[in-house]
Amino acid sequence: MAEWEKMQSGEWYDANFDRALLEARGQADQLCYDFNTARPGSPEQLAALRALLGTELPEGLTILAPVYFDYGTSTHLGKGVFVNHGCYFMDGGRIKIGDHVFIGPFCGFYTAGHPLNYSDRNQGLERALPITIGDNCWLGANVSVLQGVSIGSGCVVAAGSVVTKDLPDNCIAAGVPASVKKYIEQ
């Protein structure tokens, strides 16, 4: 099994030394640069974003520069998604963001985890677990979402929170680690 396939299936894979993954990240890095340095909303910026995500752009998608992706093609954004400045998508694992999600500035989505044993970690091993964000969510500034987490639809996550566990639909969560503070009547 190729390292890309291992990565996508949540198995341990060689993230640091596999030539194909290094090339894919290098290509994504170049496309991020092209997007981030282009005139906002220009045909060049939109072309870089389409190439980065590997698909047509969903209706109403807004991404403000700078933005960073490890691969791009593992991130799937819904209609009406707004991504504010400075966000990072560590998308070795799939990141799926639903429709009408507002993402505040400097948010990070981190699918990767490393072995606790340093000899394995020094070999470049990593495991990527998917992140899913439901429809109609709002993530405040500087929210971090860690590997394997699902956030239900209709959630609000307070600025500065670190989401380490799944959140149910229609909740307000805050803290480090984030916990449910109350529920929203939709």
**Considering 76, 85, 100, 114, which one is annotated as catalytic?**
114
Residue 21, judged by CB atoms within 10 A of its CB (0-12, 13-18, 19+), counts as buried
Alpha helices (runs of H) in 78-131, residue ranges in sequence order: 118-122
Pick from 53, 23, 22, 20: nearest CA to 35: 53
Q: Which of 35, 38, 39 is nearest to 57 (CA)?
A: 35
85 is annotated as an active-site residue: no
Residue with tokens 């593992």: 74
Residue with tokens 């870089």: 48
For residue 162, the Cα-to-chain-centroid distance in whole angstroms is 14
What residues are annotated to the active site? 114
